Amino acid sequence: MASTMRAPRGRWVAEWDDRVRRGIGLLILDGLLLRRVGIDGRFGAELLGEGDLLRPWQGDETDSSLSQTTRWRVLEATRFAVLDVEAARCLAAYPEVTGSLVGRALGRARNLSINMAIVHQARVHIRLQMLLWHLADRWGRVRSEGVILPLHLTHAVLADLVAARRPTVTTALTQLGREGRVVASDDGWLLSGEPPGELLELQAVAFSRRPGGR
């Protein structure tokens, strides 16, 4: 039903024809992608992976009161399903699939709301601990010594994800390492102990299934 495309590691810039723009978007099949948005020299970021739906061209033609830049970087070689207008026509016969894709988009929005709440924590080491546990809910693997997060995220990437300066992130990670809470390993990041209670509360609110839940 859909063609696929690949993006190698590094900065990602692509041109999109009308056939793709009028479709549903790109569905990540595997890999890891960073969306980085900057306003007035300050940057925030979003981490995307398998199952996420995106439309990287959306917003390109929209006027904004704030001057912003959006950049994409492939952290791990990524493969997409291109859900262009032809694929959308085929999928029209399968409403369950369309519903699932809408659910993917809403799930991404909920994850962003958790990320926004995390960056409002006053202390950077708490932001980092909460962020890594939040990512571990999706990518983590349980081991006898803790939970391994198999993502090789640099201090610079983590700084964007928690809205902090890179040197501050390095200092915070050193503190978490001394406490044995977050330790860098060849496989990624090893998380020990329990996730912060504030994170559990944020997740409970964001993913509440109660009708009208807030």
To the question of domain 3-93 being in CATH 2.60.120.10, the answer is yes
Compute the average pLDDT of residues 84-111: 92
How do residues 162-192 score in pLDDT, each as one tens digit?
A: 999 999 999 999 999 999 999 999 999 999 9
How do residues 28-78 score in pLDDT, each as one tens digit?
A: 999 999 999 877 667 789 999 999 999 999 865 555 555 567 899 999 999
* Res 18: pLDDT: 94
158-162 long-range contacts, CB within 8 A, separation 24+: 158/128, 158/131, 160/34, 160/36, 160/43, 160/44, 160/45, 161/44, 161/45, 161/46, 161/47, 161/115, 161/131, 162/118, 162/119, 162/124, 162/127, 162/128, 162/131
Cβ(125)–Cβ(176) below 8 Å: yes
- Which tokens in the block code for residue 104? 């993917």
pTM: 0.83
Domain extent listing, the chain = 3-93, 124-206
* CATH placement of domain 124-206: 1.10.10.10
Q: Is the pLDDT score of 209 beyond 60?
A: no
Q: Is the pLDDT score of 214 beyond 60?
A: no
At 186, give phi and psi (nearest 5°).
Answer: -65, -25
